[in-house]
Amino acid sequence: MKMEAAIFDLDGTLLDSMPIWQGLGENYLLQKKLQPTPGLQDALKTMSLPQAAQHFQSAYGLRETEATILTEIETLLADLYRYEVPLKAGVAEYLQTLQEQNVKMCIATATERDLAESALERLGIREYFSTILTSSEIKTGKDNPRIYQRAFEQLGAPITKTVVFEDALHAIETATAAGFRVVGVYDESAAQDRERIEVLTEQYIYSFSDWKG
């Protein structure tokens, strides 16, 4: 696959971090002594953290400000990103290969910047990325193509030679609808969407270790 630029999602694509996120909303609400409603995980799946904070305010009547909710959620996450979250198999080697091929790379993530930076620095891969774009800074989740368009503008390669790497169906739908080439990356959290992802993406990989693209 010939490319000049690559836009990487973080969680579930480069980092094996989705198990943390799957229980995050419920754990946060239970700490507040609130009972999560059925389907909460599915509802939060497409949201950025600011969107999730707004959902907790409207759906659960939290009186805390959005900023306070975000701080409390980030406190739950911070140590995990700083000390524990691992890379997925083959990621470091693949990024090194792309760097040797002079492919320009950036991160487009729904995760907050400080969490992303701490994990990338600890895992020794921050140097590969010219920039990190976050949903909260772009002010939209991945149900909107703005984060991919901003990344594309910053990388400066033709769209026909720019590839987005994503694991989540809603993000893949957004990127493909916006005209991007997309590689689907398997993650257990999106296993139920595998067939649909395979239809939408240019390639679908189970591991960077096994992929020669």
Report pLDDT digits (tens) over 82-128: 998 999 999 999 999 999 999 999 999 999 899 999 999 999 999 99
Give, as one character, the DSSP assignment of residue 190.
Answer: G
- Length of the chain in terms of residues written: 213
Q: What Cα–Cα distance (Å) separates residue 41 from each residue in 30, 72, 166, 170?
A: 14, 18, 19, 14
Q: Token pair for residue 29?
A: 């609400």
Q: State the DSSP H helix or E strand holding residue 146, giving kind and residue range, or none if neither.
A: helix 146-155
The token pair that represents 164 in the structure block: 């987005």
Q: Can you list the residues of the chain whose pLDDT is less than 50? A: none
The CA-CA-CA angle for residues 182, 205, 107, to 5°, reads 50
pLDDT value of position 48? 80
pTM for this entry: 0.83
pLDDT of residue 18: 84
Paired residues of 11 in beta bridges:
15
How high is the pLDDT of residue 212? 64
- Residue whose C-alpha is closest to residue 183's, from 199, 200, 203: 203
Give the pLDDT of residue 19: 84
pLDDT reported for residue 23: 82
